[in-house]
A and B are shown apart, each in its own frame.
Chain A
Amino acid sequence: DAKTTQPTSMDCAEGRAANLPCNHSTISGNEYVYWYRQIHSQGPQYIIHGLKNNETNEMASLIITEDRKSSTLILPHATLRDTAVYYCIAPSDSNYQLIWGAGTKLIIKP
C-alpha cells in the first residue's frame, strides 16, 4: 500500500506559485520522499526528492516538515504546461521500490 496521501485535484492560476501538499506520516527516518509528474499521454517525469532538508532544483522546491510527516512541492511560477498529475511517492518496506499513490491532478488556469 502507498505510504503517501494527496488531494485528488487542485487548481492554480497561471503565473502563481502552485503548492502541492503530501502526507507521509508513516515513512521511516531514512526514507526519501520523491515527486514525479505525468503530463497527459506521456511517461512520468522525475521532479525532485528529499530526505530531511528542503531541496530546490530548476523545476521545483520541496519543503519537508521537521517531523517528516508531510511535505509540499512548490512550482514557483506555474505555466499551462505544468498541468499534470503530480505523484508524491515513498519506497516500499519490502523491496525498496517506489509505491505510487493516487496523485494530485493539478490544473493551471489562464
Chain B
Amino acid sequence: DTEVTQTPKHLVMGMTNKKSLKCEQHMGHRAMYWYKQKAKKPPELMFVYSYEKLSINESVPSRFSPECPNSSLLNLHLHALQPEDSALYLCASSPGQGFSEKLFFGSGTQLSVL
C-alpha cells in the first residue's frame, strides 16, 4: 500500500464552524506533513510531525490545530477560519524527516470557507 488517503475530498464550512481534515498512511512512514496550496501556486509547508511529535510549525495561525494520534494518522482541526483560508490542503508522508526523503502525497482536501 503506497497511498496517502485524505478525507473529505471537498469541504465547505462557515467562519464559525469547527471541522477536521483527516490523513492516513499505512506505509510505516514516521514523518507526516500538512501543506496548503492556493490556486495556481506551489504548496506551502504548514506542519511537520516526526515520530508523532510536532517538529516544525511554519508560523501557522492558531485557528489551524494539527494532531497526530498515532504513526498512521494525521488530523488538521479547523476553527474560526477566514475566507482567505480557502485552499487545497495536502497531506504527505515520508519514511523519515530528512531532506533526502521522498514525499508521498494524498490527493488533498479542497476547502471553501464562506
Contacts and interface: CB of A to CB of B under 8 A. Distances in A.
Interface in A52-80: none
A61 B57 CA distance: 34
B42 A103 contact: yes
Interface residues of A, number: 21
Interface in A69-110: 87, 91, 95-98, 100-103
Interface stretch (B12-20, B66-74, B77-85, B100-108): B100-108
A96 B99 contact: yes
Given A87-B42, A97-B45, A102-B42, A44 B99 contact: no
A95 B102 contact: no
B48 interface: yes
B20 to A, nearest CB: 19
Nearest to B44: A100
Question: What DSSP secondary structure best describes chain A's contact surface?
Answer: loop
A46 B104 contact: yes
Give chain B's interface residue range (CB within 8 Å of chain A): 20 to 34
A43 B90 contact: yes
**Interchain residue pairs A-B with the least CB separation, the first 5:** A43-B105, A100-B42, A96-B99, A91-B99, A46-B102
Given A2-B42, A100-B43, A102-B41, 20 more contacts: A31-B99, A32-B100, A36-B103, A43-B90, A43-B92, A43-B107, A43-B108, A44-B43, A44-B105, A46-B102, A46-B104, A49-B100, A87-B42, A91-B99, A95-B56, A96-B99, A98-B99, A98-B103, A102-B42, A103-B42
Interface of A: 2, 31-32, 36, 41-46, 49, 87, 91, 95-98, 100-103
